[in-house]
Amino acid sequence: METKGKGVLLCVLSGMLLFAGVVMLSSCGGGKSSQSGPTLEGAKQAFETYIQEMQHGNAREAVRTRCRGAIKENMQNTIAMMDLMGGDEAPGYFKNYKGVVKAELLPDYSDIALIVADLGDGGELMSYVLHFDVSEEWKIYYAESKDLTLIKGFINDEMLQSIGIFTITDSEAEDYLN
């Protein structure tokens, strides 16, 4: 009985989230304004700004304002550990950063970008998932030491929700708005 009640509650909450997303999309004109909507260039610029802030000793603020979900918590813990071990000198992160190697929007999601960067640490590439969220800014939600663009066709709603991104596809948004 208790399990059934939790299932109903989850179903109701999912419906509420979907409704809120549709209302938000329709009130924003679909979030596709050429002036302030999500663009791949905007995602790359947000990521580059994050790296620069991390490199120049503003790590706490960069993580607080530009990261969300598990990556935010992990980076905050890393910074706290570095503070404990580092003494008086503030560590600079991503000192060997080489640049963005690849950037792509996720198919059918104009508000989700995949950024592949060369952090300069032995040639290993890192992929970052960015979301143009309700703050109308690109935020970093996830990082993995793989080229996620190779599997972008397999990234779906369930995977996005598991990292804290709740959105709908562009085609679903068009269906709701029409």
For the chain, the domains span 43-177
For the segment 5-60, what is each residue's pLDDT rounded down to a tens digit? Answer: 444 433 333 443 333 333 333 333 333 333 468 999 999 999 999 999 999 988 99
* CB contact set of 114 (below 8 Å; sequence gap of 6+): 102, 103, 104, 105, 106, 127, 128, 129, 130, 148, 149, 152
| pLDDT at residue 91 in the model | 67
Tokens 């947000």 belong to residue: 46
Q: State residue 16's pLDDT score.
A: 37
Amino acid of residue 42: G
Q: Tell me if 140 sits within 8 A of 70, measured CB to CB.
A: no
Percent of the chain with pLDDT over 90: 61
Residue 114 pLDDT more than 50? yes
